[in-house]
Amino acid sequence: MGRTAGSAEKLGELDEEAFTRLAERHRRELHVHCYRMLASYDEAEDAVQETLLRAWRGRREFDGGPLARAWLYRIATNICLDLHRSRARRPQRAAASPEVSWLQPYPDRLLDEAAPPRDEPDAAAVGRETIELAFVAALQALPGRQRAAFVARDVLGWPAKETAALLETSVAATNSALQRARATMQECLPARRDEWTGRELSAEERDVLARFIEAHERCDAAAAIAISAETIHVTMPPYPSRYDGIDALVPLLERAFDTPAMGEWRLLPTAANRLPTVASYLRAPGDTRFRAFKFDVLRVERGRIQEITVFGPHLFPAFGLPTEL
């Protein structure tokens, strides 16, 4: 699994340029770590910026050596724990999984920046089973230190001793937190987690994604319903709205496909959290441009869409997408 070994430079001896090179080498993996801890792309960005600032200011207090990476992770984890305490928010429970109002998607193109070759130990750290939306949302149900212990041990694969050092506590306390975290995650995660494998979308997922795009651009409600499971549910973080079942989906489609009122749609395929994703653009009546409107992140099983998580257009630039077409 994961490794804590890092760069051998002595941080206290690095000038700003050399420190920046070291920081950039770890920036993306630290961002993914903070995203798991916080479930927010934007808050993860803030946490990484603060991590690197604190590391620069405190570099002379650290010897460097092979534990530089672990030292950066410790700073990042403590910042995430501080943010968790300061916001004092916990997800709502709905059905078998938590609903996290602050949840944001993570672009696959940036996950690929953090991913080492498949045969290296850290490769699993950005695999689907540890970055899918359901997993990240379930992590938010854990108290902060349990979450950190679970991520370090079961996602990054750190040994108990190094995880205890990360949390600045004993091995016994770390193992206790991990056991409680595992029990909670087992309750929150669907049994299908064992099926989350690989980084690439399956042929089935690509097919459903293409049919989703075609149905929406044609404003064809029947075609959209044909690829949806009877038990589909739709959520729209940060809003508390939740729509369960085909009967609840139909009114949503009718509103979205009301061309005189809404306008015309253009959809582009993308990927978030290792899931098939669509970026939707809307040209409103009287407008001359298609403008960024939303993301739909899909969970597909047995050729049908089981879940749609809808996000606003705020992160289009992070996905490398234009805001207008």
> pLDDT tens digit string along 108-126?
999 988 765 554 445 455 6
**Amino acid occupying residue 268:** L
Instruction: Report percent pLDDT > 70 for the chain.
Output: 83
Comparison of pLDDT for 5 and 163, the residue scoring more:
163
Does pLDDT of 95 surpass 50? Answer: no
Element (H, E) at 57: helix 41-57
Strand segments, DSSP code E, in the chain are: 92-94, 97-99, 228-236, 239-244, 264-272, 275-283, 291-301, 304-311
Model pLDDT for residues 234-285, shown as the tens digit of each residue: 999 999 889 999 999 999 999 999 989 999 999 999 999 999 999 999 999 9
Comparison of pLDDT for 172 and 4, the residue scoring more:
172
Predicted pLDDT of residue 271: 94
How far are the Cα atoms of 125, 130, 139, 254, 278 from residue 101, in angstroms, in the given order? Answer: 24, 20, 13, 25, 20
Model pLDDT for residues 174-184, shown as the tens digit of each residue: 999 999 999 99
Comparison of pLDDT for 1 and 136, the residue scoring more:
136
Report yes or no: 236 and 310 within 8 Å, Cβ to Cβ: yes
Distance CA 4, CA 287 (A): 53
Distance CA 236, CA 100 (A): 10
Does pLDDT of 1 surpass 50? Answer: no
Does pLDDT of 167 surpass 70? Answer: yes
Answer left, alpha or beta for residue 286, where phi above 0 means left and psi between -120 and 50 means alpha.
Answer: left
Comparison of pLDDT for 320 and 98, the residue scoring more:
320
Give the residue-averaged pLDDT of 153-163. Answer: 93
- Structure token pair of residue 45: 């960005």
Does pLDDT of 316 surpass 80? Answer: yes
Answer yes or no: pTM beyond 0.85: yes
Distance CA 64, CA 6 (A): 9
pLDDT-derived band at 233, boundaries 50, 70, 90: very high
Distance CA 179, CA 16 (A): 41
pLDDT-derived band at 90, boundaries 50, 70, 90: low
